[in-house]
Amino acid sequence: MRKNILFAIVLPLSLAMAGCGGATTHSINLQENNTSATDEEKSEVEKAIEASDFPWYFPEEAKNEGLAEGQTVLSIHSFYPDKLKESNDPAEETYIFYNATLKSIGEKSSVVSSMGQDIEMPNALIIPIPQGQTAKKGDIVLTWWQSGSGMERAIVTDDSNPASPKVCYLDMDWKDDGKGFANDHNNEQLRPNTFVVLKNNEWQPGAQVTVNADGSYKIFTLINAADKYLLLSGWAGKITVYKKEFCKVVPLNQDINVGDEVMANFVGSFRTGYKVTKIDKKIGRVWATD
């Protein structure tokens, strides 16, 4: 059966990836190569969680590079404060990153403003969109669906105005019959100061990260990177933490051709058994048969 790949990135089978296993201890995966976490590690996590209201084992004060007052940011401010108060387990909830304006920066948390409301958010959950960015055709950028809402990656299709390029969204469904969301919003023009160019093979917010778990390579979007741990958004908007040393950034620049055997994204995981049948570089799409 032919499947239209919903993401622009597939993996050559030869790409070596180290991963951690699937079992979790509360909100952090501590398993290494199918070996359970040590008692010392579990104790460290449990103590840290008990000492903080932050649902994930990650420094909530950790600022992403480039955070500046007055800029556009992406954050889960529409969900997080209420779920922190009302949910029995906020770490297991679904979160969507929306755009807002960074009003002020604090040591542990900062204030974002959206729809006339000021909301205090942990610094770890704020993704900056630096001002003055420009992009060229073929660049992949982190932004949001600007005629709708929600964090999106997009590929630049027209760089006539590098500060306000036209894009095709990559995290929306593209359909051959022209009726997909990505088709409907193809060549949408981004406003200035509303996107950031993603760099190849860097621990950058918005980068795709893969982790080996349960026989497949689970796919996440990087929110924040600390010394040892990564704060990640996964399938259905669930946020989790994995050890950095057992994760890998999915490269943006890959030499993929029709006929290649690849791993491709299906329901939030890279899986084997796909052969490339068509490539459209302009819109950042690969078609494959499983």
Confidence (pLDDT) at 265: 86
Confidence (pLDDT) at 268: 86
Q: Output the CA angle 178-282-137, nearest 5 degrees.
A: 135
Confidence (pLDDT) at 254: 87
| Locus of tokens 């509303």 | 194
Confidence (pLDDT) at 11: 54
- Is residue 8 scored above 70 in pLDDT? no
What architecture is domain 59-133?
A: Roll (2.30)
- Is residue 40 scored above 80 in pLDDT? no
**DSSP strand pairing (248-249 vs 239-243):** unpaired
Neighbouring-strand partners of residue 32: 35
What mean pLDDT is predicted for residues 252-260?
91
* Other CB atoms within 10 Å distance of the CB of residue 177: 6
* Backbone φ, ψ for residue 123 (5° rounding): -60, -35
Confidence (pLDDT) at 199: 96
